[in-house]
Amino acid sequence: MEPMDNEKDLTITSQPGEARENGSAPASESVAAAAPSAPPAGSAEACEKALAERKDLYDRLLRKQAELENLRKRTQKEKEELRQHAAEDLLRSLLPTLDGFERALQHRDDSVPAAFYQGLELIYRELREVLGRAGLAPIETTGQLFDPYLHQAVETVNAPGRREHEIVEELQRGYRLKNKLLRPAIVKVAVEGKPGHDIADES
């Protein structure tokens, strides 16, 4: 009878393996495919090696930066010393000119017009101001105690009322360039006892 044959067709079920042929996978296989794979062997060592190389490169970079900074400071210092040395030589060469101005102003000739000395004083004063701005300064002498680092004593004299080793006369002005002695002052110094000897003999 035909109706019964139709019922048998409806009760047919799929056999194992047919679902795979239709394109669908079992649930257990899907879970296995979704799980992450294990890291390859030796990856930890490679990571540690990369970190060590990075640290080494960073340390080398810091050392190079420090070397460049030291080079910059050394170059700047050398340039400053060279400029200071050039200025020192120039100012030292001008000291005899200052001495000449001072002698001319101290020993004036009455036959020379006063206007000449006024002009000389003006030039001398302007020259001292220019050199002063460059760092040149005279060394104090008269009334000061003798200092072997700043003064050169060429004669000792008896000077009542003066302190022992007090400077009583300046024969040639001394100068310093900022904090450096450029030329000692030549002076006479008061002493007790026999005058006329070099004060350096006492030491």
Reported confidence tier of residue 199, pLDDT bands at 50, 70, 90: low
Domain 138-202 has CATH 2.30.22.10: yes
**What average pLDDT does range 154-171 have in this prediction?**
90
Q: Using H for helix, E for strand and C for coil, what is the string for 144-171?
A: CECCCCCEEEEEEECCCCCCCCEEEEEE
Closest by CA position to 124, among listed 103, 142, 144, 141: 103
DSSP reduced 3-state for 190: strand
**What average pLDDT does range 109-138 have in this prediction?**
92
CB–CB of 123/166 below 8 Å? no
Is the model's pLDDT at 118 over the cut of 90? yes
Structural domain boundaries in the chain: 48-133, 138-202
**What average pLDDT does range 154-173 have in this prediction?**
90
The CATH number of domain 48-133, selected from 3.40.1350, 3.30.390, 3.90.20, 3.30.420 = 3.90.20
Is the model's pLDDT at 154 over the cut of 90? yes
